[in-house]
Amino acid sequence: MRKISVLLLIVFCSLNTYVRADEGMWLLSLIGKNYEQMKAQGFRLTPEDIYNVNKSSLKDAVVGLGNANSPFWHFCTGELISGEGLFSTNHHCGFGMIQSHSSVENDYLRDGFWAYKKSDELPNEGISAQILVRMEDVTSYIMPNLNDNMTEEERTNAIDSIGRILSDRAVEGSDNDAQVVDVFNGNQFLLFVYTTYRDVRMVGAPPQSMGKFGGDTDNWEWPRHTADFALFRIYTGKDGKPADYAKDNVPLQSKHFFPISLKGLKDGDFAMIMGFPGSTDRFLTSFGLKEAIQQNDLIHNVRTVKINVLRKKMAESQKTRIQYASKYASCSNYWKYALQQNKALNKLNTMQQKVDIENNYKRWAAGQTDAKYGKALDMIKEGYAEGNEARMARLYISEGVLRGPDLFGFSLGIYNRLTAIIAMPNTDEKKSATDKLMKSVSDFYKDFNPEVEQLLISQMFDYTYKNMDKKYYPSFFNDILAKKYKGNADKYADFIMKKSVFASKEKLESVIGQYKITDLKNDPAVVIANSAFDKIYEIRNETKDAGIKIEKGDRYFVDGLLQINKDKKLMAPNANSTIRLTYGNIGGYHPKDGVYYNYYTTLKGVMEKEAPTSSEFMVAQKLKDLFEAKDYGIYADKNGDLPVCFISNNDITGGNSGSPVLDAEGNLIGLAFDGNSEAMSGDIDFEENLQRCINLDVRYMLFIIDKFAGAQNLIDEMKIVK
């Protein structure tokens, strides 16, 4: 999963206003401002039921999934569904974890995985799960220390310094973590305090034929029939506090968990989603939009090269399919997103809407005494014009060299870590650091195929070399690929794989074991990585002044928009991976003239889509048997059909994947997992008539856990509302 205009941000409606889509990823602590509108749309709880720091509330059941080295950046959301730390999220969120535990002998991707007792649950090193403790507006602590005469660097340093002090004070004497983030482009600052859990174990996942049903073809599309869920559990130390993985850790005692409703859904029913949306750019100007469209085209084109290589090689063996499944999924998701977003931006005439907003802003700015508002758009325009070529070149290097093949980013990381280890005295610390480095090597080569890598290097270097602006070539393109190999990327790739230590796990382990740093310094992979990063840093310095103009101009521009709308309507800040709430209603939509999409799908649609020769549309025999027997149990709807997915007009983006979809009483009715392609412009421009959130119906999830997997142990943990 992974998305009118800013001046049309949601009006704070009265009770008499008709129900419509609500643009806004709202801050929980301020949700009281939306309460009357939420009630008008069907909400039956109170703001205190959503966010309360003195007693349990809905916020306590929402889980932000991250990586241990960056826990505040949440790649997905989950929701607690039992008193013992069991939580659900999307299959595609857990895909990397499922893949990491898979092998030819235990192909959990193909066959699924179910823990029928807690001792069978599988640990996932490096995964974190955060739950919000509280949040606070700290703008009044920071703004008095800032002024417009500061350079952007001075401003950033001041914000960071004060933010660290506030964060440290907020968690002093506790096991919590905190961060200060800016919203509204640096015009407001918020403190978030979380409890971060570090022992997350895999509990269950359906086969890929169900959890990823539809594959790339159905991604970002409705109607949908995907069982996009997986189950995990949070563990703590015996004292109930966050702890690193240990076999004798105990399940989290949930402060709150969501009851699961089997009552069924109707067109127009209230639906709200809580989660951790990653990023949006709703205040983007027309100048920024022009560059965003260029970037989308570039990313889609470069990733097409990578996807074609992976598709070819993954089809050749089961082992390669397992090794590259997660990498392929990660690459292909944004590959299709970039394509569909540009289509939607063009179809919905987003550029003109941005221009209209800017013209309205100019009329307002002309009447202001502070000249900074009048300069804002000119600053932004200049910044984009001055740095465009260089930024596009940087993106080519990132996509074609560092994110394309696997070797280069990995090799430089190993080289830098080994350099630091060699500088250590011969102590237990040095041995421990070396052991960790060896484990990183082992983890990398588990999912590495030299034949695939050589083809990726050849194809991606060839495309990047031929398409990027030559004046921004990294040095190895000029000095080696052009001069030595006359632009022949096939021969260059062959040389790299024959000469690089990094092409072989055994060779690299030998070098590390003997601390032979000189063997790595001139290694072809390290040379390429250093060259690529040197050029990226060079471009970053070249575009620094242009970036400052954009950053400063954006801040003034958004400040002006806030003032324009101060007494007219509520405005939600852009998503930034902090917890938010969006509310709306269940309902279908008209994607184009003469076509109407209903708001739900059933298991019948899975059978209609079945294509036994397609890896995307295979149907498990057991699922077909259950369908033929209509053995749906308590999970059937009133018509005797089994619900699979439904849509709502909630405002979500990447990071919301796995988010709980809740009814008017706070019961779990679904898991958000995608958006519709017709409104893929949503990260930049919310389209209230088209934007839909695609959700897994919890009845399909429970049916699979119960009837398909026979995991009654998991059903027994949950609170089912009928």
Q: What angle do CA 440, 441, 446 make, to 5 degrees?
A: 100
Dist CA 333 CA 300 (whole Å):
10
Residue 338's contacts (CB-CB under 8 Å, 6 or more residues apart) are 295, 296, 297, 299, 300, 303
Dist CA 676 CA 273 (whole Å):
16
DSSP output for 191-238: EEEEEEE-EEEEEEE--HHHHTTTHHHHTT-SS------EEEEEEE-T
582 closest CA partner among 688, 702, 699, 718: 688
Among the listed residues 57, 82, 88, 92, the single catalytic one is 92
433 membership: H or E segment, kind and range: helix 428-446
Both structure tokens of 487: 């632009």
**Would you call 657 a catalytic residue per the annotation?**
yes
Contact 75, 67 (CB under 8 A): yes
Dist CA 528 CA 520 (whole Å):
12
582 closest CA partner among 7, 1, 9: 9
**Would you call 225 a catalytic residue per the annotation?**
no
Taking residue 36's Cβ as centre, other Cβ atoms within 10 Å add up to: 15
CA torsion angle 483 488 491 494 (round to 10): 100
User: Within a 13 Å sphere around the CA of 518, how many CA atoms are in the beta-carbon half?
Assistant: 0
210 closest CA partner among 721, 691, 619: 619
Residue 249's contacts (CB-CB under 8 Å, 6 or more residues apart) are 199, 235, 236, 237, 238, 243
Both structure tokens of 483: 């001069």
The b-or-e profile of 517-528 (16+ CB within 10 A means b, else e) is eebbeebbbbbb
Residue 196's contacts (CB-CB under 8 Å, 6 or more residues apart) are 71, 128, 129, 130, 176, 177, 242
Q: What angle do CA 5, 6, 8 make, to 5 degrees?
A: 65
DSSP output for 554-593: HHHHHHHHHHHTTTT---PPPP-SS-EEEEEEB--EEEET
Among the listed residues 22, 177, 218, 228, the single catalytic one is 228
616 closest CA partner among 326, 211, 139, 96: 211
Contact 139, 189 (CB under 8 A): yes
DSSP state of 115: -
549 membership: H or E segment, kind and range: helix 544-564
| Strand 720-721 relative to strand 260-261, pairing | parallel
216 closest CA partner among 677, 553, 628: 677
* C-alpha dist (Å) from residue 710 to 315, 621, 716: 31, 15, 12
**Would you call 74 a catalytic residue per the annotation?**
no
Residue 215's contacts (CB-CB under 8 Å, 6 or more residues apart) are 615, 616, 617
Write the burial class of residue 485 (CB in 10 Å: 0-12 exposed, 13-18 middle, 19+ buried).
Answer: middle
Among the listed residues 332, 657, 659, 677, the single catalytic one is 657
Catalytic residues: 92, 228, 657
